[in-house]
């Protein structure tokens, strides 16, 4: 059986990655008592044994890799705010790639590929009042307080200029708090959304510091299962294109790499948080990747699996 693969780079690493994506197999790690090793804590427990050992078990990808620690997203509402034009270009230059690339990349992924409801502002300029009205209409028109359309996930995408304090800069030069936007969808303000994931993808500057490129080895961060008793901010996965205090360039790498990784892996049931590690690596390999440092803030106690929405 022949299968076409598309190489992004002519390297052994890329060939292995593309070949692996063609397999109908994946593997899981387990200790000798068949307990699944799926977290840093589980690894530490294995190595506390006198003779630590583990085994590799091959699994078919015909069925999604889904456990009780995963939530399936198959009917998400995706809302995007993309600001590419600003009134005062001496202080806030236009960002043409928001309209040219970011909107197209996210629309191709979430609307065309996954068939989710996708809502985005049409004007390239958005004042502070425009965004506040956009969010109010979103909540009202899609009946979110009652969740009439039975959404099982919210994906909020925000692209534009930003500054310190998690502030989005609107076209008229005013600031709007990302934290306040998030709070409008928390368990207290939007009770109908309390039991499903809310993913925020935010691609904007978070300060004025220019990142310094250096050689680095990508390490997997500490993974924690958060088990709390119903905090208002539970259920959020915040994804930032850079860390606090730093600038980013107008290269659209986050949207492009996220589109590429998710589209290549979601059909196998690959969990989204694991995809984010691949997104980071793909950005690092890309030209101008040194401008990005993808940061996540996670208050979920599960991973997420994307499934394309079926239409009648």
Residue 6 falls inside a structural domain: no
pLDDT at 65: 46
My answer on whether 40 and 87 are in the same domain is no
215/195 Cα distance (integer angstroms): 41
My answer on whether 44 and 139 are in the same domain is no
- Sign of the CA dihedral with 297 first, then 300, 303, and 304 last: negative
My answer on whether 185 and 207 are in the same domain is yes
Q: What would the mean pLDDT of 129-134 be, rounded to a whole number?
A: 98
Reduced 3-state DSSP string for 66-94: CCCCEEEECCEEEEEEECCCCCCCCCCCC
My answer on whether 206 and 224 are in the same domain is yes
Residue 225 falls inside a structural domain: yes
| Structure token pair of residue 281 | 């690596």
Of 308 and 216, the structure prediction assigns the larger pLDDT to: 308
Residue 3 falls inside a structural domain: no
Domain boundary among 33, 60, 87: 60
My answer on whether 40 and 134 are in the same domain is no
Q: Which domain holds residue 46?
A: 25-60
Question: Quick check: 204 pLDDT over 70?
Answer: yes
Give one word for 160, left, alpha or beta, with left for phi > 0 and alpha for psi -120 to 50.
Answer: left
My answer on whether 113 and 147 are in the same domain is yes
Query: What would the pLDDT profile of 14-51 be if each residue is shown by its tens digit?
Result: 787 677 666 666 677 888 888 878 777 778 888 888 88
My answer on whether 128 and 52 are in the same domain is no
pLDDT at 226: 39
53-67, 79-93, 146-160, 178-192: least confident range: 53-67
Residue 20 falls inside a structural domain: no
What's the residue count for the chain? 312
Q: What would the mean pLDDT of 250-270 be, rounded to a whole number?
A: 92
Residue 13 falls inside a structural domain: no
My answer on whether 156 and 240 are in the same domain is yes
pLDDT at 195: 86
Question: Quick check: 66 pLDDT over 50?
Answer: no
My answer on whether 166 and 38 are in the same domain is no
My answer on whether 191 and 42 are in the same domain is no
Q: What would the mean pLDDT of 131-146 be, rounded to a whole number?
A: 97
Say how many domains are in the chain: 2
Question: Quick check: 220 pLDDT over 50?
Answer: no
pLDDT at 64: 46
Residue 165 falls inside a structural domain: yes
Domain boundary among 60, 85, 104: 60
Residue 5 falls inside a structural domain: no
Question: Quick check: 264 pLDDT over 80?
Answer: yes
Please enumerate in sequence order all residues whose Cβ is within 8 A of that of 248, keeping only pairs 6 or more positions apart, or say none. Answer: 203, 204, 205, 241, 242, 291, 292
Residue 10 falls inside a structural domain: no
Q: For residue 284, which of 296, 271, 293 has the smallest C-alpha distance?
A: 293
Domain boundary among 11, 40, 60: 60
My answer on whether 197 and 102 are in the same domain is yes
My answer on whether 48 and 186 are in the same domain is no
178/184 Cα distance (integer angstroms): 10
| CATH code at position 121 | 3.40.50.1460
The mean pLDDT value of the chain amounts to: 85
């Amino acid at each position: 059986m022949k299968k076409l693969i598309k190489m992004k780079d002519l390297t052994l690493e890329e060939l292995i990655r593309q070949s692996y994506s063609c397999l109908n197999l994946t593997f899981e790690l387990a200790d000798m008592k068949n307990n699944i090793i799926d977290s840093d804590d589980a690894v530490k427990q294995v190595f506390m044994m006198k003779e630590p050992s583990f085994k590799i078990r091959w699994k078919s990808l015909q069925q999604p890799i889904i456990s009780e620690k995963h939530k399936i997203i198959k009917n998400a509402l995706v809302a995007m705010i993309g600001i590419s034009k600003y009134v005062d270009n001496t202080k806030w230059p236009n960002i043409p790639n928001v309209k040219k690339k970011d909107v197209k990349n996210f629309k191709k992924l979430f609307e065309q590929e996954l068939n989710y409801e996708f809502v985005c502002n049409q004007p390239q300029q958005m004042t502070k009042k425009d965004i506040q009205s956009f969010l109010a209409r979103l909540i009202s028109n899609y009946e979110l307080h009652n969740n009439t359309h039975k959404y099982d996930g919210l994906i909020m995408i925000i692209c534009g200029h930003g500054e310190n304090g998690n502030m989005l800069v609107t076209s008229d030069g005013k600031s709007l708090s990302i934290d306040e936007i998030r709070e409008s969808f928390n368990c207290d303000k939007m009770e109908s959304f309390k039991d499903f994931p809310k993913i925020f993808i935010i691609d904007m500057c978070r300060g004025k510091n220019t990142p310094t490129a250096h050689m680095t080895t990508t390490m997997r961060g500490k993974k924690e299962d958060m088990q709390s008793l119903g905090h208002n901010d539970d259920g959020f996965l915040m994804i930032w294109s850079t860390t606090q205090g730093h600038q980013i360039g107008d290269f659209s790498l986050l949207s492009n790499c996220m589109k590429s990784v998710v589209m290549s892996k979601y059909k196998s049931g690959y969990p989204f948080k694991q995809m984010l590690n691949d997104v980071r690596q793909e950005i690092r390999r890309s030209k101008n990747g040194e401008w990005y440092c993808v940061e996540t803030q996670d208050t979920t106690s599960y991973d997420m699996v994307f499934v394309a929405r079926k239409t009648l």
